[in-house]
């Protein structure tokens, strides 16, 4: 039996380690997790005390530098294999070149990681395990990606005890996150779905969905395991409404057997009156969907959204009419974007302001995506740049980038309270030395608190939502520090 220790920077429950913990347990292995922001200065001491057989990272892009530093620290502390997987390593397997990293896993790992743990437990090096790139004395062994599981129901349920064992505060939410499906059929230029479909070509169906009964049983089991009542469900799929036949059958059973309010992700071009009514009738109280840009050319040519302003406005009106709050996704610093074009995004969000609590971030043009190629052709990004940063930092450098960074920091307030637009735009156009960056950071943190409280009030009540927002905000501050 091998003990796999997942290391994580920020304090939240991640589906990757939870699914992998369950898959490892099915093979007789064990998983634990340590969260740096929760451990504080005792983080590395806790790593040593855990005495793992394997140290692992499940990485989103933007955290790769932290993981590389931490891997080197682990290697100074103990002689164990250090591996990394998740989206970042799937698209940037050259992460294997980092000092301290012994292997990376590409793609879904519920089969690959247990195979790797089996190989190491038997005295091997795992260099022939599908999905893994492994450093060997002969160089890096590069294996083909593992085929996709055709039946998601054959996977064990995510291990909901993984974080709760050491960090009960992270599992204290009154809601439950549920993953219904994997895969998205669309090809937005900023997203990796097209790349993933190519990566898995000939290796199984990319879009798969759990059966109705599996999802309902998982929700009921979570409710039964909680000491406090389960109050709502979050369906965290990229696009919850993409299969109308599956959705109608599921929501009929959900309404009858679960009956809790829920939130989910939708797409404006898929929404109509019948679907909106179905969601509202079934208990949907909040949805999210992408606007990305208010400039039609930016949205539909640069980003390949293929969604009209009329569809966005109509979707917002239907949601508001049926009492469903929503959050739009918006991006700034797109290739060729000016502050004037960004204002078009502000105007569109102001137009649908009723019920809208928007999220915004700076474009991260990941290498391999179409928008990366656009930025490269325009000379806005150096050859070899991965584009793998966090959404609060700019990758592209163009004439209005600095102003767009400030615009992003104040965007939410200008949407929700249009009377603030004039003074905030003054800060955008005329930056204040020293104090300006501090104001922008404070604004971003305040946005997180206000936005969460407003969106989650229907589920947790105003005081409960505010309390959760403050706790999450404090964790973010600790991460910054």
What is the reported pLDDT for 150? 94
Segments of 47-102 assigned E as strands: 54-58, 82-85
Q: Which residues of 423-459 are buried (b: 16+ CB within 10 A; e: fewer)?
A: ebbebbeebeeeebeebbeebbeebbbbbbbbbbbbb
DSSP letter string, 133-155: EEEETTEEEEPPPPPPPS-GGGS
The helix or strand, by DSSP H or E, that contains position 34, with its residue range, turns out to be: strand 30-35
Nearest to 158, CA basis, from 106, 210, 204, 115: 210
Query: With 0-12 CB in 10 A as exposed, 13-18 as middle and 19+ as buried, what is 187?
Result: middle
Contact 411, 444 (CB under 8 A): no
Domains of the chain: 3-142 (3.40.50.280), 173-431 (3.20.20.70)
Q: Using CA atoms, how far apart are residues 178 and 263, in angstroms rounded to an integer?
A: 10
Q: Using CA atoms, how far apart are residues 289 and 310, in angstroms rounded to an integer?
A: 14
Nearest to 479, CA basis, from 33, 20, 43, 32: 43
Contact 131, 146 (CB under 8 A): yes
Q: Using CA atoms, how far apart are residues 391 and 255, in angstroms rounded to an integer?
A: 36
Contact 344, 389 (CB under 8 A): no
What is the reported pLDDT for 481? 45
Contact 466, 431 (CB under 8 A): no
What is the reported pLDDT for 385? 67
pLDDT tens string, the chain, 481 residues long: the values are 899 999 999 988 999 999 999 999 999 999 999 999 999 999 999 999 999 999 999 999 889 999 999 999 999 999 999 999 999 999 999 999 999 999 999 999 999 999 999 999 999 999 999 999 999 999 999 999 999 999 999 999 999 999 999 998 887 778 999 999 999 999 999 998 888 999 999 999 999 999 999 999 999 999 998 888 999 999 999 899 999 999 999 999 999 999 999 999 999 999 999 999 999 999 999 999 999 999 999 999 999 999 999 999 999 999 999 999 999 999 999 999 999 999 999 999 999 999 999 999 999 998 889 999 999 999 998 876 666 665 667 889 999 999 999 999 999 999 999 999 999 999 999 999 989 899 999 999 899 889 988 888 888 877 776 676 666 655 555 544 4
What is the reported pLDDT for 184? 92
Global pTM exceeds 0.85:
yes
SS (H, E, C) 443-474: HHHHHHHHHHHHHHHHHHHHHHHHHHHHHHHH
The two structure tokens encoding residue 46 = 């806790």
Q: Using CA atoms, how far apart are residues 326 and 319, in angstroms rounded to an integer?
A: 8
């Amino acid at each position: 039996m091998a003990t796999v220790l997942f290391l994580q920077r920020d304090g939240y429950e991640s589906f990757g380690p939870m699914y992998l913990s369950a898959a490892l347990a099915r093979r007789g292995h064990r998983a634990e997790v340590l969260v740096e922001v929760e451990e504080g200065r005792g983080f590395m001491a806790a790593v040593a005390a855990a005495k793992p057989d394997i140290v692992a990272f499940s990485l989103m892009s933007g955290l790769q530098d932290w993981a590389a530093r931490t891997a080197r620290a682990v290697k100074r502390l103990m002689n164990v294999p250090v591996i990394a997987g998740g989206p970042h390593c799937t698209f940037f397997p050259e992460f294997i070149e980092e000092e301290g990293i012994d292997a990376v896993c590409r793609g879904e790992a519920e089969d690959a990681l247990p195979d790797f743990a089996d190989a190491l437990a038997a005295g091997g090096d795992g260099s022939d395990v599908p999905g893994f790139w492994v450093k060997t004395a002969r160089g890096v062994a590069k294996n083909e990606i593992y085929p996709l599981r055709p039946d998601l129901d054959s996977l064990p349920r995510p291990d909901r005890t993984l974080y709760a064992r050491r960090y009960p505060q992270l599992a204290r939410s009154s809601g439950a996150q549920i993953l219904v499906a994997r895969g998205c059929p669309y090809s937005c230029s900023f997203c990796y779905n097209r790349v993933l479909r190519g990566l898995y070509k000939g290796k199984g169906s990319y879009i798969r969905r759990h059966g109705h009964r599996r999802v309902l049983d998982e929700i009921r089991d979570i409710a039964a395991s909680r000491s406090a009542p389960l109050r709502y469900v979050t369906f965290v799929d990229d696009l919850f409404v993409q299969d109308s036949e599956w959705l109608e059958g599921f929501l009929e059973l959900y309404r009858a057997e679960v009956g809790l309010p829920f939130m989910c992700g939708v797409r404006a071009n898929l929404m109509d009156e019948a679907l909106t009514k179905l969601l509202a009738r079934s208990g949907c109280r909040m949805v999210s969907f992408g606007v990305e840009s208010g400039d039609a050319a930016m949205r539909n040519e640069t980003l390949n959204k293929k969604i009209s302003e009329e569809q966005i406005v109509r979707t917002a009106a239907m949601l508001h009419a049926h009492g469903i709050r929503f959050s739009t996704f918006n991006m700034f610093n797109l290739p060729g974007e000016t502050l004037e074009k960004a204002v078009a995004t502000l105007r569109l969000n102001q137009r649908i302001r009723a019920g809208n609590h928007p999220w915004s971030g700076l474009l991260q043009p990941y290498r391999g995506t179409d928008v990366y190629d656009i930025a490269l052709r325009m000379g806005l990004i150096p050859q070899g740049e991965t584009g793998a940063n966090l959404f609060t930092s700019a990758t592209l450098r163009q004439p209005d980038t600095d102003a767009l960074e400030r615009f992003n920091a104040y965007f939410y307030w200008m949407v929700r309270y249009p009377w603030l637009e004039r003074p905030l735009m003054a800060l955008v156009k005329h930056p204040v030395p020293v104090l300006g960056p501090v104001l922008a950071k404070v604004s971003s943190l305040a946005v997180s608190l206000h936005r969460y409280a407003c969106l989650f009030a229907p589920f947790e009540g105003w005081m409960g939502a505010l309390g959760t927002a403050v706790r999450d905000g404090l964790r973010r501050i600790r991460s910054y520090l």
